Structure formats: structure tokens, C-alpha cells
Amino acid sequence: MLDKKPKKSFYLFLVLAAFVLLAARVAYEQAHHYRQAEAYSAAQNWKLAIREYDTAIHFHVPFSPLMDKAARRLWNIGQMYETQGKPDWALIAYSSIRSGFYGTRSFYTSGRSWINKCDQKIAALDTMMLIKEGGIKPEQAESQKKKYMAIFGDNRTPSVLWSILAEIGFLGWVGSAIATIFLGFKKTGGLKPKPALYGTLCFVFFAAIWAISLLKA
């Protein structure tokens, strides 16, 4: 009995280590893309800077200051394009902030204040471009902005229940895969039928929960 406890602790350590490594990888990618964006900004290569700041936001790390910094940089780039009379590129910068934060939401939506600011900007710029292209008349501007804001305000927040199930499914999927690898085989290399079977069934079960929950959330 005594020799079994270290084994269970060891497997638990491996599972926790896998998640720590995953979190570290996401944090590294976020910092890497932010540094790349800063380098492009210093070289005034704004289009590639937008891409890298956008990617940095998508690598969501809770409480990371880099997400807010990336959003602020994109906001400044959008304002710069506005002053240059390039509303199309300003829209790309503002939309990158909005899509970046929406792309990382689960139980909650981070960057809500940034999203609200971008909604206002996007509605105004889209309306201005419609007037310029002759799509609407100037006197229709306010009603058009309201239409855009109504669309943006449509509540599309993911279901909390399905989001929780998605998290459970993902954790169970990864955990069962690791457990099957370490518990489903003998030291001699042979297969342990029951642990391997149960591990495989759990792997398929949690993978199905994860996939279905992502579609439903």
C-alpha cells in the first residue's frame, strides 16, 4: 500500500505540470507577439504591428497587463489612421481590439470597456463610410449608428453551463490521456487491459463533451 501513494502523487504532479507548461507557453507567446508588435511599431510598420498586437490579445493570460497595453496600442494606431483620413485601416485596428477580447471569452468577457469604446468607433466610422459611398444620406447617420449599436449590443455571451462543461471536458480529455499513458501499460511494455480500456473510454467521453460544449456555448 505504501508504494502506491507515491505513484498517485507522481501522476497528479505530471497532470499539474502539463497545465503549468501550457499556461507558461501561452504567456510566452503573448509576450513574444507583443515584443514583435513593439518592434514593428518602432519601425512604423503599422499593418504588421496591428497583426501582432491582435495576436497578443488572443493569447489570453488572466490579469496580464500586456492585453491592456496591446489594446491601447491598437487604439492609438486607429486614431492615427483616422487623422490620416484612412477610416478603413482605422476600422481594422479597432475591430482587432474587439475581436481579440471576444475571441478569449469563456465565463466572462475581458476588456469590456475596450469593446464598448470600439463599438462606438466602429459604428461611427462605418456610418461615415456609408455616407461617403452614397449608401445612406447624411440625415440618416444617427439612425444608422443606432442600428449598428443594436447589433453590437446583442447579447451573445456564451452559456455559463456549457462553458463549465467545456472546461471539464478539456481537463478530463487531457487528464485521461495522461492517465492512460502512465497507467495503461506495464513496466515491461505490455498493455494493462482494464486501465487501458477505461482510460480510452474516458478519453473519448471527455473529448465528446468538450467538442459538444464548444458548439453549444
> What DSSP state is assigned to residue 20?
H
Predicted TM-score (pTM) of the model is 0.69
Task: Give the span between the Cα atoms of 123 and 141, in whole angstroms.
Answer: 10
Task: Give the span between the Cα atoms of 76 and 30, in whole angstroms.
Answer: 20
> At 102, which helix (H) or strand (E)?
helix 87-102
Give per-residue pLDDT as tens, 132-171: 899 899 999 999 999 998 888 765 666 778 878 888 998 8
Number of H helices, E strands in the chain: 8, 0
Count of C-beta atoms within a 10 Å radius of residue 215 = 9
Count of C-beta atoms within a 10 Å radius of residue 160 = 12
Secondary structure of the chain: what % helix, strand, coil (to 5)? 80, 0, 20
pLDDT for the residue numbered 107: 63
Beta strands in the chain (DSSP E): none
> At 110, which helix (H) or strand (E)?
none
pLDDT for the residue numbered 154: 63
- Does residue 58 surpass a pLDDT of 90? yes
What average pLDDT is seen over the chain? 87
Give per-residue pLDDT as tens, 91-135: 999 999 999 998 887 667 788 899 999 999 999 999 999 998 998
CA distances from 207 to 107, 135, 210, 216 (A): 20, 47, 5, 14
Which of 210, 205, 185, 212 minimizes the C-alpha distance to 196?
A: 185
CATH class of the domain at 29-157: mainly alpha
Helices 112-133 & 65-83, crossing angle to 10 degrees? 20
Q: Residue holding cell 515491461?
A: 188
In the chain, pLDDT over 70 holds for what percent of residues?
91
Domain boundaries defined on the chain: 29-157, 161-216
Give per-residue pLDDT as tens, 188-204: 777 788 888 888 898 89
Task: Give the span between the Cα atoms of 140 and 161, in whole angstroms.
Answer: 41
Q: Which residues of 31-46 are buried (b: 16+ CB within 10 A; e: fewer)?
A: eebbebbbebbeeeeb
**Least confident interval from 1-15, 18-32, 78-92, 113-127:** 1-15
Conformational region of residue 134, where left means phi above 0, alpha means psi within -120 to 50, and beta covers everything else: left
pLDDT band at 5, cuts 50/70/90? very low
Grid coordinates in use for 135? 449608401
pLDDT for the residue numbered 11: 67
